Amino acid sequence: MEFTIRKPSLKVFVVALLCATFVSGVLLFSLIKMANTTPTVGGSFELKYRGAEWRFLDHNKRLNLLYIGYAKCPDVCPMSLSVVAQAFLKFSENELKQIQLLFLSVDYQNDKPDDVADYAAQFFKDFVGLTGTKEQIDFVVNLFGASYLMEKNPKSYIGYSIAHTDKIFFLNEKGEVIKSIANPRSDEQIYQSVKQLL
């Protein structure tokens, strides 16, 4: 009895060992693979340009910079847009063909589509100022892990302010985030990042 049990159990043991080695190997491999590929943030989206429908995939370039703010913002938005503009002034015609800046205003209640387009374009002629419906805006804001919060500010002349993410997102041609810079304050940093990613 003991022998008949022992003999097959040895076989089973060897097979089980082989199986375990194989399974753990596969597991380890996929774990390494998972660690190397960060989950993709971003993708295509739809907004409005001067009131008309605007699809990212119809206007994408090799490298797309995205900033989310509002036109009536007097402090961080214009500062971020001007450092990008200052960086863009250093690029060649050929480089400029491959890059663009998209500015999305989340202030769907106060920023008119033409105002946003004109606002963005005065920093740099090819900056694209976008608006959208609340649903479109919220979709984009969530897509890129950004956020905004409208706050009533009765003490202030303007009456409100919008707290928002202060970040430049660098998107590839699919709209996926490949880099981001928080509190962009230096045109050199933007310039170097674009050079590196192009």
Partner 1 sequence: MKNIMFIGLTLATFSYAKDKKLAELLSFQDARIFVPSKGSVATAGYAVVNNKSEKEVSLVISKAEPFKAVETHMTVEKEGRMAMEKVDKFLIPANGSLELKPGGNHIMLFEPSREIKVNEEIKVEFLVDGQNQEVPFKTIPRVSTPKKEETHHH
Q: Which residues bind partner 1 (CB under 8 A)?
A: 71-76, 78-79, 81-82, 85-86, 89, 111-112, 114-119, 122-124, 129, 147-149, 151, 153, 155-158, 161, 163-166, 183, 185
Minimum CB–partner distance for residue 140 and partner 1 (Å):
16
- CB nearer to partner 1: pick between 112 and 174: 112
Report the distance separating Cα 75 and Cα 32, nearest Å. 43
- CB nearer to partner 1: pick between 5 and 158: 158
Report the distance separating Cα 144 and Cα 15, nearest Å. 48
- CB nearer to partner 1: pick between 71 and 171: 71
Minimum CB–partner distance for residue 51 and partner 1 (Å):
14
Minimum CB–partner distance for residue 80 and partner 1 (Å):
9
SS3 163: strand
Three-state secondary structure readout of 17-73: HHHHHHHHHHHHHHHHHHHHCCCCCECCCEEEECCEEEEHHHHCCCEEEEEEECCCC
Minimum CB–partner distance for residue 174 and partner 1 (Å):
25
- CB nearer to partner 1: pick between 82 and 98: 82
Is the separation of the CB atoms in 50 and 114 below 8 Å?
yes
Minimum CB–partner distance for residue 68 and partner 1 (Å):
10
- CB nearer to partner 1: pick between 173 and 188: 188
**H or E element in which residue 196 lies:** helix 187-197
Report the distance separating Cα 70 and Cα 77, nearest Å. 7
